[in-house]
Structure 1
């Protein structure tokens, strides 16, 4: 009889452990929220680390996709595959458990122009996420990262709203100054056009130099982690050289990483991993 009871106990314990393990697994969910600024529902994907349902609040990183992308990019197995990366870094304790979220910003380049994407992101999306999920809501636990046009957006938000973010990870940021090259997708969209023609003055009005010149009273900026591949075909190496020189001139903390590769996720995976570890250990 005791043997039967013991076997039943082991069986129940195994079932319980299986359920616990299922609850402890990380996950990525596709959701949406309604934006008054955009007057529509907008999709986002959100990553929850293992054991999210406990009462401990988490760090947060906002991930901005590039031109032609969507909320799928960062977590797609064919592109960002960021879930596995975060799982691994958290498991080996290279970074603290964190929530990661990415919004479908379409080809807005994250500014207020034809649509109010910047206002939607800063005034609506960030407060929505941090109200509805178990997140620490302070600068020291809030990060932002973006690739290409997303790096452009992450740079702009970090300079305009520096009190929001501890650090910004800029992966091949398309933050050209004074003007983008002919290969840039920014030339093809309405965001930076006047009467259907790309306007250098409009582009420059959103530039990092304009943002800093317009906010000279700000002295405490996030730390910027900037990277690119040495074979990037979109002239990003020049962008980074110019940006670094300007940041040094302005006494803005920055770290630069250049690795072998082009304008692709192979480079961004490696640089994002390196930079995220540095954010949590510097």
Structure 2
């Protein structure tokens, strides 16, 4: 294991394994837009080599989590990366950013960071399928919101997206999870709260352009907003996969859900390659 100093979007530091075994590396990128270093975990499969291009799945953490939450709490994702021969990236979205470019706090520009800094770095430094047909995004809770929000707004970047127990409609939660620090209060900025919600982005979707897979447990406090999203997508005639089954807002649920979502993405990547 060696430490290499590279220049991509900015000065970037990361650890690279030179064996063909599965690798779980920590990447630290310098974000110019936020003027700070931001970490991510990158998991490459056993088969990884520079002569083959691999699809990439971005897994976003939830509120109060960080870049290491997925590998610590759902370590089976390493085996899934091997099984499906895909690269998994679990980036840091700060513990409460909701993956927005905040209109209130200029220090929180996570939409720009993800789309203009992190993804180009991954494509430049790993052997990836760098088109949208080789790129997926999903996440849990706050990260489920972030995954759909980013994918819907950047359909030129992401070919497929998912959400696990996502906070897909923020309107019912005006005092929760520090969101008003990034958006202002809902009472003062009601239209902004609609716009910065996944529900406020559905007009950007068109039929068969962005496959979606959405999971939420029936015992989850986000269940009703996920059901509302499913009903609205159905009304708009937007194809999607929606699963509501027993479960709460827990890692037990997400550890099971991620297996199905990665299979969904694998099938998408296979069909996109076959076209």
TM-score, normalised on structure 2? Answer: 0.81
- Aligned residue pairs total 246
Selected match of 2:191 from 201, 209, 212: 201
Q: How far apart in 2 are the matches of 1:116 and 1:138?
A: 23
In 1, Cα distance between equivalents of 2:196 and 2:125? 31
| Closer, same or farther: CA 198–238 of 1 in aligned 2, 3 Å | farther
Partner-residue secondary structure (3-state), 1:169: strand
For 2:239 and 2:27, locate their aligned partners in 1 and report how far apart those are by CA, in whole Å.
35
**2:8 aligns to what?**
none
Q: In the alignment, is the contact (CA less than 8 A) between 2:207 and 2:239 conserved in 1? A: no
Query: 43, 48, 58: which one pairs with 1:47?
Result: 43
Which deviates further from its counterpart, 250-259 or 265-274? 250-259
- Larger radius of gyration, structure 1 or 2? 1
**Structure 1 unaligned blocks of 5 or more:** 1-21
1:108 aligns with 2:97: yes
Deviation at 1:270, TM superposition (A): 0.9
TM superposition score normalised by structure 1: 0.80
Q: Residues 1-282 of structure 1 correspond to what in structure 2 (within 5 A)?
A: 23-76=19-72, 79-87=73-81, 90-91=82-83, 95=84, 97-106=85-94, 107-113=96-102, 114=105, 115-176=108-169, 178-180=171-173, 184-187=176-179, 190-194=181-185, 199-213=189-203, 215=204, 220-232=208-220, 234=221, 236-281=222-267
Measure, in 2, the Cα distance between the counterparts of 1:246 and 1:177.
Answer: 15
Whole-Å separation in 1 of the counterparts to 2:41 and 2:245: 29
Q: Say what the alpha-carbon RMSD is for the aligned residues.
A: 2.3
Q: Deviations over 1:145-167 (max 9, x none)?
A: 11000000001011111122222
- Secondary structure of the structure 2 residue equivalent to 1:74: helix
Q: Distance in 1 between matches of 2:31 and 2:256?
A: 34
**In structure 2, do the counterparts of structure 1 residues 198 and 66 end up closer, same or farther at CA, with 3 Å as the change threshold?**
farther
d(CA) in 2 for partners of 1:161 and 1:176? 19
- In the TM superposition, residue 186 of structure 1 has moved relative to its aligned partner by 4.5
Counterpart-to-counterpart distance in 1, 2:163 and 2:76: 16
